[in-house]
Amino acid sequence: MTKICINAHVSGSVQGVWFRKSTQDVALSHGLTGWVRNLPDGRVEVMMCGEGNAVRQVEAWLYKGPELANVVDVHSEQLVYENVHEGFVINDDADC
């Protein structure tokens, strides 16, 4: 079982529509660790780590997001797995 991390930037109408909370719920249901935060430019940034297939499933979900979201684009890059996160948190701080 290969573990990976993905850093993704989601653009569109993704702030103020429960995107962070929904991402947290979906990530936790897939056993992932990491964080999600709003960016000043209106995008949402997600860092998620875990079993490769689970990470890819949540990455695919980002293209749809929660019901009220209107996702225009997702830009993601795979990173080397690092076990540095505990749980999956909503980060309200602009600096993770």
The residue ranges of every structural domain in the chain are: 3-90
> Which residues are identified as catalytic?
20, 38
- Phi, psi at residue 33, to the nearest 5°? -115, 160
Return the CATH fold of 3-90.
Answer: Alpha-Beta Plaits (3.30.70)
pTM of whole model > 0.85? yes
pLDDT digits (tens, 9 = 90+) for 33-90: 999 999 999 999 999 999 999 999 999 999 999 999 999 999 999 998 987 778 999 9
Nearest CA-CA partner of 71 in 79, 60, 84, 57:
60
**Amino acid in position 76:** S
